[in-house]
């Protein structure tokens, strides 16, 4: 059975992530974020699960004996660098929370025309040749989120940045209904957070001992 500190480490970031995503979905305004920040937030959410799972399980015993508790500095650095590598290799993407496809199309069409006179549509695909942006729209009905995903490797990151700024300003004027699923996410995050708080409050000494044992890599 997993001990108290490892349980908090694994599920604490998940609770915070659920609260954050839930809050974004109950606002009356859409929220636009770059794919880089969206992926980084997910990476932080999963960090605890990774450390109490594969990272701790597969760490070489020789490294534990040599570096003792300082091995965690290398493991955290390795995870951070791996996440940065994933972010650098990912293609441009924009994520808009709490909107439908019908909500996004008009402001996106207006912004595309303002930024590039040669902008053209093909179904749910949009090409801005003068900005070096080629994308298609991906809609998630379950969460009522829209993603603008790059199409092909030939992309101009500066053009994507201009599109993000212009579309973010345009969406400020858009009011949308609250997403009921946001309430569910907030509730789940609060219940998970309260459960973890109960674990800590019931036996703080056990949490401290678990932390000390984990830093010493004792098993």
- Going from N- to C-terminal start, the domains of the chain cover 100-135+151-176
Q: What is the pLDDT of residue 218?
A: 45
Q: What is the C-alpha to C-alpha distance for residues 43 and 83, in angstroms, rounded to an integer?
A: 7
pLDDT tens, residue by residue, 51-62: 887 766 667 666
Residues 107/32, Cβ–Cβ less than 8 Å: no
Rounded Cα gap, residues 77 and 143, in angstroms: 33
- Contact criterion met (CB below 8 Å) for 178 and 25: yes
Residue 152 in contact with residue 128, Cβ under 8 Å?
A: no
78-100 confidence digits (pLDDT tens): 899 999 999 999 999 999 999 99
């Amino acid at each position: 059975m997993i001990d108290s500190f490892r349980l908090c480490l694994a599920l604490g970031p998940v609770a915070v992530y659920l609260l954050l995503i839930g809050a974004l979905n109950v606002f009356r305004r859409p929220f636009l974020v770059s794919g880089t920040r969206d992926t980084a937030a997910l990476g932080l959410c999963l960090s605890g699960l990774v450390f109490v799972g594969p990272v701790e399980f597969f760490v070489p015993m020789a490294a534990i004996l040599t570096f003792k508790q300082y091995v965690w500095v290398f493991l955290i650095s390795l995870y951070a660098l791996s996440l940065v590598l994933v972010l650098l290799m990912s293609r441009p993407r924009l994520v808009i929370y709490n909107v439908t496809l019908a909500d996004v199309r008009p402001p996106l069409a207006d912004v595309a025309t303002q930024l590039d006179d040669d902008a053209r549509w093909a179904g749910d695909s949009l090409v801005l040749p003068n900005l070096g942006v080629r994308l298609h729209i991906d809609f998630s009905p379950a969460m009522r989120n829209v993603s603008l995903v790059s199409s092909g490797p030939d992309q101009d990151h500066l053009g994507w940045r201009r599109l993000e700024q212009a579309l973010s300003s345009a969406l400020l004027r858009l009011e949308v209904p609250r997403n009921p699923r946001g309430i569910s996410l907030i509730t789940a995050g609060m219940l998970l957070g309260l459960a973890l708080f109960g674990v800590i409050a019931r036996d703080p000494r056990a949490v401290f001992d678990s932390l000390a044992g984990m830093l010493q890599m004792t098993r």
